Amino acid sequence: MPPKRCQVRSKKRTRDTQATQENIQTFEEELRSALLDAPTDSAAATSADALPPNDSDISSDDERYTDNYDGIQWEAIKQYIKPLRTQKRQPSWIYKYGYRVASLKNPKRTFFVSAAAIWKNHQSVTHFVMTHYDLLLSTVRRHLSSARSLIHFTFDGWTAKGGKKAFLGVHIHYLDDDGNKHEYPIALPQLAGTHTGERLGEVVNDVIRKFGIESSQVGYFVLDNIGSNNVAVDILAKHHYFNGTHRRLRCGPHTLNLIGQTVIFGIDRKALEVDTGESAEEAKLEARYLQEWRKDGPLGMLRDVIAYISTPQQHDLLRDFQVKANEQLPDPKFRVKEIKKPGTTRWNSYHDAFERAVELQQPLDAYMQYHIGQYRREIAARLARNPNAALVDVPDWMRTEGLTAQDWQVIIDYIRILQPLKVASKRLEGRGKCGRFGALYEVIPTFEYLLRKYESQFDFLKDVDYNEADAPEDHELYNIRAAWKKLRKYYVKLDDSPAYYTATILHPQYKFYCDNSWMDTPHWLNYNNAQFQALWQSYKGESGNRSETPPRPKRVRYDAEIDDDIDQYTGPVKTPGDDEGDEFIRWKRVDNLPRDHPHAIDPIAYWLSLSTEYPNLSRMALDILSIPAASADCERLFSEVGDMLEPKRRKLSGQLTAALTCVRSWISKGFAVATLSIKYISFGNGQRKTNS
């Protein structure tokens, strides 16, 4: 006798056969009906209308068991038809997100189709992304064609982890027709070969042409200090007929980061000679001592300790010492803090690393003493066994006594020296969306604030008697002087372009800043005024675009120390009789605005409101005030791309990586296209369909 399970299956098959014979047509009849009703222009297509449901197909009157095909696009899935039979059980929850269909070639085979599951092969997602990119590209091009201001550029190179791919991130900054500020990436081309300035210039020019940006729309280029960027801008100047020196601007925070590196690593023998009374030979000897101090002194030792904490075991050990330190002096708000590691390319990283180390001074001291004691015990045991044994290879700091209280005070002093650079770089690297931070008009006042800050520190340290017990270290004097000289070097370079001066004097709060600050150096004013007048002449006679006054902007926070320093130079200056017809001269007679005035916070809104009264001057102001002070957007872009590629997407092609990055950014900025239908995706020969 066969097993009982087989008997049950036999009965079920008998019942199914009987139901089929009683309630539905035969397979041949159904297939013949489907073929006869199929559209005449395609023998392989059967739509919902071509195959209407048959009541005889329904095995149950319960609507829960019937399929709902509302919204399905049969023309997009011509190889499928409605199933010949309804389900004999309640449909799964998954059918709320798609449809049950049958193969036209084999109606017994059923499939699930969904707009969320349209990917059929390994190229489908790529085709979808590239199609979306092409559609959005057209939208962005149209938007750029109506830009109210010049279109400014920041670009920088980046190499992915592993060194196999190099990209050039290109960002744009501009005002649209309504005066709203926009900034986003427009291209991430993959670089091949040597990254020369000529090559970079041609790549950026290809991007400009791809987006339909006219030569008359090309604005300024805010880049870091590498020499190849000078060549790149010169190449672009030849293509678009502008003065490359005037249009090439430097990233403010990048420059300030170089100043910070000078404080930590730099050697400038002339800085030791000037204002210190030392001869050239003495300065040379002092420079050698200073280099040794940077390596083996408190800063170098702390840097080496931080670098040693690079494994899970070392991080856990430092966490344990933090917990023990808190047990001695309990803090209800205690939480374990991670060490911060400095890097030469990351802005303010040494300031932040030293600041975190001071916060963890007690745990770090315990951590160092633990390793120092362990090393000494190991050496003692080894020498006891063999007096001629070789020393253990350990970092130099393990052979010292660790950091003393005086060493920690030196670290605190250098945090104080680096603090103004951090405050200034934060002020310049902001996005500038609402106006105050991250804009070009902040550069001259911020640089002058730093120069005055370091001058006062140098004057104080110069008169210190370094033989006294509580005197600061004399190297602080030399390092501050070296930082001041480096800062002064880049401050002088601001005169290469009239944009910095123009942005400052067209700001409603800073309009008199340079007149007051440079009162004792009239040749500075004469030179910059001449450059400004040459630029102003190119705008005279042009009609300005009118715009409604935008809504009142919100107030933002500002740094009190820098602002108080700048405010003393922003009062009005008396001028003799002026030309009544000149818009700039007429505007210059108007009082400047206080720091907390909404239009001082948002000068873009200020000049939009004056576009009727000063049409040409407002046009120039909007072009210049929309220039960013930093190229920080490129760094943010590369951080996002690195997160996208690591750790499992390193094989993404450069083209797809660029498309994904741009599409994500453009959508977040409000650019959109109509819903991308499945009909735009090709599953066949790897070709994308177009809108036509």
Q: What is the pLDDT of residues 329-384, one digit of tens each?
A: 888 889 999 999 988 778 888 999 999 999 999 999 999 999 999 999 998 888 88
- Give pTM, 2 decimals: 0.74
Name the token pair of 384: 């006891």
Over residues 223-230, mean pLDDT:
92
pLDDT of residue 606 exceeding 90: yes
The least confident of 377-381, 465-469, 681-685 is 681-685
Residue 46 binned pLDDT confidence (cut-offs 50, 70, 90): very low
- b/e string for 646-669 if b means 16 or more Cβ within 10 A? eeeeeebebebbbbbbbbebbeee
The least confident of 427-431, 475-479, 503-507 is 427-431
Over residues 486-495, mean pLDDT:
94
How confident is the model at residue 68, as a pLDDT? 79
The answer as to CATH 3.40.50 being correct for domain 124-251+636-680 is no
Residue 161 binned pLDDT confidence (cut-offs 50, 70, 90): confident
DSSP 8-state symbol, 153: E
Name the token pair of 376: 């000494």
- Residues 622-677 pLDDT 10s: 999 999 998 888 888 888 887 787 766 667 888 888 898 999 999 989 888 755 55
**Alpha-carbon distance 250 to 254, whole Å?**
8
Phi, psi of 416 (to 5 degrees): -65, -40
pLDDT of residue 127 exceeding 80: yes
pLDDT of residue 29 exceeding 80: no
pLDDT of residue 577 exceeding 60: no
Residue 278 binned pLDDT confidence (cut-offs 50, 70, 90): low
Residue with the larger pLDDT of the pair 163 and 78 = 78
Over residues 613-617, mean pLDDT:
95
Q: Is the dihedral of CA 394, 396, 401, 404 positive or negative?
A: negative
Residue with the larger pLDDT of the pair 456 and 97 = 456
How confident is the model at residue 47, as a pLDDT? 41
pLDDT of residue 283 exceeding 60: no
- Residues 205-214 pLDDT 10s: 999 999 999 9
Strand ranges for 51-139 from DSSP E: 80-81, 99-103, 110-113
Query: Are 167 and 191 within 8 A, CB to CB?
Result: yes
**Alpha-carbon distance 388 to 376, whole Å?**
16
Q: Where does the chain hold its CATH 3.30.420 domain(s)?
A: 124-251+636-680
pLDDT of residue 277 exceeding 60: no
- Around Cβ 590, how many Cβ atoms within 10 Å? 11
Name the token pair of 100: 């049950």
Residue with the larger pLDDT of the pair 116 and 133 = 133
Residues 6+ apart with CB under 8 A from 351: 260, 415, 418, 419, 421, 422
- Mapped onto helix, strand or coil, the DSSP state of residue 168 is strand
Query: Are 504 and 510 within 8 A, CB to CB?
Result: yes
Name the token pair of 665: 């950014």
If residue 353 lies in a helix (H) or strand (E), which one and from where to where? helix 349-359
**Alpha-carbon distance 272 to 281, whole Å?**
11
Q: Is the dihedral of CA 484, 486, 489, 494 positive or negative?
A: negative
Beta bridge partners of 250: 223
Residue written as tokens 């017990």? 469
How confident is the model at residue 559, as a pLDDT? 58
